[in-house]
Amino acid sequence: MGVPRIGVAVVTMGNRPAEVDALLESVAKQDLAPERIVIVGNGCRLPEFARRLSLPGEVTPIDVEENLGCPGGRNVALARLREFGDVDVVVELDDDGLLVDADVLRRVAELFAADPRLGIVGFRIADENGETQQRHVPRVGSADPMRGGYVTGFLGGGHAFRMAMLGEIGDWPAEFFFAHEETDLAWRAADGGWRILYAPELLLQHPKTSPARHAIYYRVNARNRVWLVRRRLPFALIPVHLGAWMLLTLLRVRSVAGLRAWFGGFMEGVREPAGERRPMSWRTVWRLSRLGRPPVI
C-alpha cells in the first residue's frame, strides 16, 4: 500500500492552554503534515488559540458540553474523522504531551505502510529528563523502555490506530470514563488478529504523573477492571485475574481510604452491567501469553 494518510486527535478539558499550544506547535513542525487535526474540548469551550493557530492540514475544533472522559472524548474525534473519510491512521496525543522529534508522524506512516496487519503503535513516554516510568513500559517486570517489538498493550498518552482496525473491533469503551480503556481496546485488537507494536523511537515527552492523582482513581480502577474481565476474558480466567489483582492491591495500597474505595468500586463492577460480553478466544490467550503478558497479570 502507499503512504497512509495521517490524522491527529487531541482531547482537552481546557485547563492546559499553554501545554496544548506547545503540543500543536510540535505537530506543526512535523516533516509529514497530517491530513486532519481534530481538537475536542471535553466539557469545555476550546480556547481561541486552538481555533486560530496556523497548522498543517484541516483543523476541526469540537466543543462538547459534557465531560465524556478520555475514551468518550476520543470517540468524538474518531467519529468526526470517520465522517471526513480521508484518514487511514489516527495519532492520539495527550494534551500535555509534546512531540520532541520532527519525524514522528512520518515514522508512524512508514510502520503502518510496512505491515498491513499492524493495528496499533504505542509511543515511548518520557519526562523532560528522558525518564520513562515503569508503568509506561508495556512489558511485565523491570523491562528496558528502549526495547521495542510486538506487545499486548499500548500507552494511552501517545499512540496510533489504523482506522480500518477500529472499523472492525469498535472504538474506545466510553463507559469506562477513565482507567483500563486501553486494555479493553488492545485485547479486542489482539483477538481480531491485529498486531500491537511498541516503538520506543517514537517519543512523546510527558510530565511525570501518578494515576492516583485523580480523586476517583481507586474506585474507577477497580470497577473498570471487573468490567474489563467480564467483557473480555473466558469465564475460567475471570477469578484468576481478579484474585491476582486483589492480592496485588492489598500488598500495594497502604491507605485505608484507598482500599475502601477500591473494594467499593470492585463491588460496583460486580453489580452493574459491564456491557456486551465478547470474550477473547483461547488462541488469543495463548498469543498474549507468548508475548510475555498472559491476561491474568
Domain of residue 87, residue span: 6-209
Give percent of the chain with pLDDT exceeding 70: 94
Is 161 inside a domain boundary? yes
% of the chain surpassing 90 pLDDT: 82
Please check whether residues 87 and 99 belong to one and the same domain: yes
pLDDT single digits (tens) 279-290: 999 999 999 999
Domain identity same for 228 and 189: no
Model confidence band, residue 297 (pLDDT cutoffs 50, 70, 90): confident
* pTM confidence score: 0.94
The count of residues in the chain is 297
The tens digit of pLDDT for each residue in 160-170 reads 999 999 999 99
Q: State the residue for C-alpha cell 486527535.
A: 9
**Residue range 66-95, pLDDT digits in tens:** 999 999 999 999 999 999 999 999 999 999
Residue matched to cell numbers 477513565 = 178
Residue 143 inside a domain? The answer is yes
Rounded to the nearest 5 degrees, what angle is found at the Cα of 256, between the Cα atoms of 267 and 178? 50
What pLDDT, on a 0 to 100 scale, did the predictor assign at position 108? 98
Q: Are residues 231 and 204 in the same domain?
A: no
Whether the Cβ atoms of residue 146 and residue 38 lie closer than 8 Å to each other:
no
Q: Give the count of domains, the chain.
A: 2
- Name the amino acid, one letter, at 126: A
**Integer Cα distance of 144 and 123 in angstroms:** 14
Q: Is the pLDDT of residue 210 over 70?
A: no
| 42 and 163, same domain (yes or no) | yes
Report pLDDT digits (tens) over 216-246: 889 999 999 999 999 999 999 999 999 999 9
Same-domain check for residues 238 and 109? no
Q: Are residues 68 and 204 in the same domain?
A: yes
Query: Do 55 and 93 share a structural domain?
Result: yes
